[in-house]
Structure 1
């Protein structure tokens, strides 16, 4: 499947009342959003029917769309009639600051598109228009979108859910963690529902889940997610510092192969190391590169959705815009045109694009070579 954005003008939003079936960890918040946007909820789970006082008769209707969790719990799949899917997409882009919407193109369209030389790009305008011609989108066409809920989206969904049912702060994030953490969350929220004090419940819960998270000197991976849905693991890093109260950490990676540092266009050599500085919840992470002997090679600042910490990794969605700084103090912003294209194609909202532009401006004014060079002492002591 090919993933592209969904422009709001692709399908006319109608006043037709669509039926939606919702399942998964986001179901309560999404049900509220759908009801607020004129959808009817059909075939609800027992919990959803009771929470929203839905009529039993709705169980017998077939849905126009179905919504269910992605395998990794980092978002949802929405599949069904194109007009209904488009309406969901529009509602989520309006409501959630950092949501990512990816439209999945039917296989038959993909085959026709690649009958030529096979070259393609998620940002190729010719590809985008060709898909429009092939599909000749109508309200009865079936469509599927992949929706990513980064950090801010999860928090907004927490807020919506908390108006319906007792909800711990971070509910959807902890649910996405899965395993023991998701299980402990369920037990904690049962205490809330039974009337246990929220502050005490949250304190007990956080004390229990803290054992599942990495600590200073742990090994941790970096999951770098692209707007188009591709996922890159940037390798295992050593957590050289972790201030848990301030959520600030420094990660060290040592390279064993040759290459070129992206954006900087500086040679990468065996023995080089990278010092990545970040704070959980920040919109960027900063990586400075050094030679085996500690010579500063440059800094690469990645602008992304607010960083999340999971038991074995940090995770974020790369928002394409980056800032590079060289040893002589030169700085340069790169790839803004990619972000503009993603906003134009409604992978992201214009609101998110504006946030990124503002963050880039702030970062350009704060970079200093002397501060980056200080990081080398941390790196030299850990490899």
Structure 2
């Protein structure tokens, strides 16, 4: 609304939130339709080219790590395009707006969720972690609704958030629990790299150590070294961090290598951890060689509009920070963590 968009056909909740008067606008054709994704990790937007382009500009200048996945159909011409910046120029030469249908899938990872919390809090009382807890779903979503109702009624924020944190903490996994590792690619493909057992969990430090057993032969991605049955992987996670570090060992605790994934902030959910893979990775081999790999894929993602240039900058800073701090001795001794 701060950017000249007007809400039409609002739900009861939206009318109440923004103080909108009830009106008969059922016949109004909106420029953009916005709906929550089923997994509550983002939204689906459909609309005309001009409004979509304006929305993209606003979001890219506001949200650092949002992912923009899209499909475009131009009726009669039957054209489909998977880029964002590239298709905007194509749209502008279309003969008639009636020939267009644009659809955009926007994912909101950790940084975006936090920023959206800040924006929502300007309009209505909002607990810290609102969009994250909503993505947790189920009882988490209901507890957030109750907590925010308490804020609206004037209850002290510190007390409300302390009560909320106490209520949700018992529903998160503990040492000994098994987690899924939800590895989401920039194109939306989802891989479960689990199961992984929680061996250590420092809640205050947000640090978690996970153990995975290897049962099949193969090759470790990036490292391009042999994977053998009996190997094990030690993954070190700091919730909210922009990287995920996995060390591989043989059954005899011989160090094979380290694969450091650069990603959106790692989020912990009741049965899994989740992040979006940003393609660029760092590999460490047992002989001490250290190499950054696939950095061109991150640049390509920005060039095609999947991510913002700001996210490229954030990722590159994370890479440099990690490269400056790698200790081969620490990598070799990581098996002691489990």
- TM-score, normalization by structure 2: 0.93
Alignment match, 1:91: 58
5 Å-filtered alignment, 1:137-286, equals 137=94, 140=97, 141-286=100-245
CA positional deviation for 1:369: 1.2
Alignment match, 1:31: none
Q: Which moved more, 1:41-50 or 1:207-216?
A: 41-50
Runs of 4 or more off by more than 6 Å in structure 1? 107-113, 128-135
Residue 45 of structure 1 is aligned with which of 3, 7, 11? 11
Judged with a 3 Å threshold, the aligned counterparts in structure 2 of structure 1 residues 376 and 167 are, in CA distance, closer, same or farther, namely: same
Judged with a 3 Å threshold, the aligned counterparts in structure 2 of structure 1 residues 275 and 53 are, in CA distance, closer, same or farther, namely: same
Judged with a 3 Å threshold, the aligned counterparts in structure 2 of structure 1 residues 314 and 192 are, in CA distance, closer, same or farther, namely: same
CA positional deviation for 1:86: 2.0
Judged with a 3 Å threshold, the aligned counterparts in structure 2 of structure 1 residues 340 and 211 are, in CA distance, closer, same or farther, namely: same
SS of residue paired to 2:65: coil
- Provide the rounded CA distance (Å) in 2 between the counterparts of 1:58 and 1:160: 28
CA positional deviation for 1:287: 0.4
CA positional deviation for 1:329: 1.0
- Provide the rounded CA distance (Å) in 2 between the counterparts of 1:165 and 1:65: 23
- TM-score, normalization by structure 1: 0.82
Q: Deviations over 1:268-303 (max 9, x none)?
A: 000000000010000001000000100000000000
5 Å-filtered alignment, 1:3-42, equals 35-42=1-8
Number of residue pairs matched by the alignment: 335
Mark the runs of 5 or more structure 1 residues left unpaired by the alignment. 1-34, 114-120
Q: Deviations over 1:283-340 (max 9, x none)?
A: 0010000001000000000000011000000000111110001111110001111100
- Provide the rounded CA distance (Å) in 2 between the counterparts of 1:158 and 1:224: 24
Residue 46 of structure 2 is aligned with which of 79, 100, 109? 79
- Provide the rounded CA distance (Å) in 1 between the counterparts of 2:145 and 2:20: 23
Task: State whether structure 2 residue 337 is matched by structure 1 residue 378.
Answer: yes
5 Å-filtered alignment, 1:282-297, equals 282-297=241-256
Mark the runs of 5 or more structure 2 residues left unpaired by the alignment. none
- Provide the rounded CA distance (Å) in 2 between the counterparts of 1:333 and 1:139: 47
CA positional deviation for 1:346: 1.3
- Provide the rounded CA distance (Å) in 2 between the counterparts of 1:217 and 1:146: 36
Q: Is the 8 A contact 1:81 1:139 kept in 2?
A: no
CA positional deviation for 1:138: 6.4
CA positional deviation for 1:54: 2.8
SS of residue paired to 1:106: strand
SS of residue paired to 1:147: strand
- Provide the rounded CA distance (Å) in 2 between the counterparts of 1:296 and 1:110: 56
Alignment match, 2:313: 354
